[in-house]
A and B are shown apart, each in its own frame.
Chain A
Amino acid sequence: MKNLKKIGWSAVLLTALLGTTTAHAMDDAEFRSQFLSGSMDWSEVTKRAQDEGTVNFYYWGGSDIINLWIDQVAKPALAEEGVTLNPVRITATKDTVDVILAQLASGKGEGEGSVDMLWVNGENFFTLKQQGALWGSFADKLPNSVNFEWDNADPRAQLNLSDFGTATDRMEMPWSGEQYVCAVDRAHVSQEETPATFEDLKAYLEQNPGKFAYVKPPHYLGNTFVQSVLYAHNPEGTGAEPFQLSLEELGADKLAALIEPGFAYLKEIEPLLLGGPQGNPRYPEGPSELDNLFLNSEVHFNCKFGLYGVYAGLITGTYPETAEEMIFPAGNMIKNKSYLAIPLNSPNSAAALVAINYFSSVASQAAMMKQAGMPAGLDTWKLAEADQAIINEAAPPHYGVTQAEFDANIAPDTNASLVDVIEGTWLEVIERGSDKPIKDVVAEVVANLK
């Protein structure tokens, strides 16, 4: 309300001063509909962005090198375009999603929120989209959208068009394409001992009990590990394929049948996990705790999203010097993208568009790879040769595994509507140690979600 009033007043003022109504005095809703209809010139957006001045960017602030890159590179670059980037570091994206939903619920609609853009994917995007809390299909209307494949016919466009099985509908712009990669400590694990499948891992743990841990679901890193276990144990042998369907399409009973062997495996290895031999299996709460366990030789493997995780761990001193990458689980390494989205009630939506356009540029993506160790999110085949070279050159080194080997072992993410159910099932079966049949547990979790 306040903002609307402010804009209303400035419109009156401008009319009085210039004698005409100028474009950037239009209200947020009008700007949104004009931009989304594609009838607006980009120069009008940048002009409005300069008037707005600031963009509040909410993102997970747990990595020093990402924070430094945002402050030292992105901030000055956007300042040149007349936009002040205000990075707001959060510990969990879900908190920000909740803030946006709470604001909308309390009547703070278009232009009246506090979040201009956020780093998001998977369940959080699903929630925002489902609640109608997104600004609109802006992504293919940015000048730098030419760096991305939007053609439905090209299977390589899937990661831009679908986020955990939810259609992105271009309501978020791809930012970084990550892969779930495990690191191995060569001080403890030789090349021959390195597991490639979940059965290998179990065999290794029987020899070295307690030396593996995965992040606790519902943290997305834990969810991802569980998903790759489920793919590999799919009783129909179709791997990730059925997990692309939504809960409604698949049905709870079918899901229960698909995940039963996977959960049996998770239960089997529990006594072999960190703390398991002492009778108290422990699941780290997040990546920094897992890094610490890995550094201290409490575990011999470190699985998380991090195509350049070993590189980042080595330059920050958080990984042992003997860390290397490995291919695990072969053929089921989940690859996905994370995105930048604008919430419906963004108070500086033009500035957010300008910022997201900057983050999608070749220069910005190259700097992000080089300094923050984050893989690029753009699609290299869409780039001119010179730009491809820039991206290739900016890529940090790999340790022990080649990019081609990584590319050969990818699997897609699980549909977001299934993630909630799998998460709930994990909490009941593994954390609370329930002995109920999986079918009943899944039915209960599904009932609770509604």
Chain B
Amino acid sequence: MASASLRSLTFGQKLLILAVLAFTIGPFAPLIIQSLAFRWAWPDLLPSVWWLEQRQISPFPLAWDYVLSPTSKVLEATVNTIGIGVAVSLLCLLICLPAARVLARANFRGKKRLEFFLSLPLLVPEAAIGIALLMIFTGLGLSGTYVGVIIVHLIPTVPYMVRMLTAVYQGLDQGFEDNARVLGANDWQVLTRVTLPMLMPGVLAGALFTFLVSTNLFLLTFFIGQGSIVTLPTLLFSQISGGAMGATAAGIALVASLPGLILLVLSDRLIREEAFALGIGE
């Protein structure tokens, strides 16, 4: 009895899931409609004039025609977002992989404190980091450059990456590495033939998650990029900062959601809930 009632959903739970889904993904429907609208005024539930009706007579590109034209800078922003995301993921892996190995295996003084320190960037307001760093970066000539933006993206991504990789190393049986060594493999061979293949799923998950965090970052890119590095979040911000939504803003919002949507499909198998066992304050 008890067991059965734990396995099936109550009515309230079904309602909750429905309500949450309506709340989280429901608003995307009007967003899509808005991106296809020419004139859509209160109290119409659908646009009174659609973009396609106006398309032939309009003297200039509207809605998606504008979004996809070079003037909107959508392509530039997409390329920048993905490029920066990939660079940040790789750099982050390079930094965190060796460190995660030590954190997973060694037991040293101050380790707990170090682990807490490593999660601090998640607890300090982004604006504080951005503003403080902007001054040094301007001095070093790094503000407004790709290098500057990539470096600053490391701050919020490293904590996640280190945690996820440490968990992977902890789950990895050191015995396999030792066996390989006994059988005569050198360090490089152990790394490339044994450790990395076994780490691969975790590494991929970490890299994907880092990519995701990087592609969603706004404030740090905004500060350090100084307007000359346009990414999808900064482009969308400048579109909606006027406080109104038109067809082009809606189109850009949809394009800005695409990387996340693609990752959602890809990562369903890769990003497990376990990665989110954040464990701050243990």
Contacts and interface: CB of A to CB of B under 8 A. Distances in A.
Contacts of B71: 64, 67-68, 71-72
B244 A292 contact: yes
B247 interface: yes
Interface string B64-95: 00100111010000000000000000000000
5 contacts: A284-B243, A289-B243, A292-B244, A320-B41, A321-B39
B227 interface: yes
A216 to B, nearest CB: 11
Contacts of B189: none
Nearest to B63: A317
Interface stretch (B6-14, B53-61, B106-114, B203-211): B53-61
A285 B60 contact: no
- The number of chain A residues touching the other chain, given as a range, is 35 or more
Given A61-B238, A71-B70, A296 B243 contact: no
Interface in B121-148: 138, 144
Contact of A90 (B58, B227, B244): B227
**Most chain B CB neighbours (cut-off 10 Å) among A61, A67, A321:** A67
A65 interface: yes
Nearest to A319: B39
Nearest to B144: A114
B241 A317 contact: no
A106 B69 CA distance: 38
Given A88-B227, A371-B59, A288 B41 contact: no
A297 B42 contact: yes
B242 interface: yes
Contact of B242 (A114, A285, A297): A285
A89 B238 contact: yes
Contact of A64 (B40, B70, B243, B248): B248
Nearest to A102: B138
B38 interface: yes
Given A321-B39, A371-B59, A91 B49 contact: no
A287 interface: yes
Interface string B233-256: 000001001111111100000000
Interface in A53-70: 61-62, 64-65, 67-68
A315 B59 contact: yes
Interface string A58-101: 00011011011001100000000000000011110001000100
A219 to B, nearest CB: 11
B243 A297 contact: no
Interface in B244-282: 244-248
Contact of B42 (A106, A296, A321): A296
Nearest to A286: B242
A64 B59 CA distance: 12
A317 B49 contact: yes
B219 to A, nearest CB: 15
B232 interface: no
B37 interface: yes
B242 A65 contact: no
Contacts of B49: 317
A291 interface: yes
Q: Shortest 7 CB-CB distances between A and B: which pairs?
A: A288-B242, A296-B42, A292-B244, A289-B243, A317-B39, A317-B38, A288-B244
Contacts of A289: 242-244
A90 B247 CA distance: 20
Nearest to A370: B59
A106 B135 CA distance: 11
Given A317-B54, A371-B60, 16 more contacts: A64-B71, A65-B60, A71-B70, A91-B241, A99-B226, A114-B144, A288-B243, A289-B242, A291-B244, A295-B39, A298-B42, A316-B246, A317-B37, A317-B40, A317-B62, A317-B246
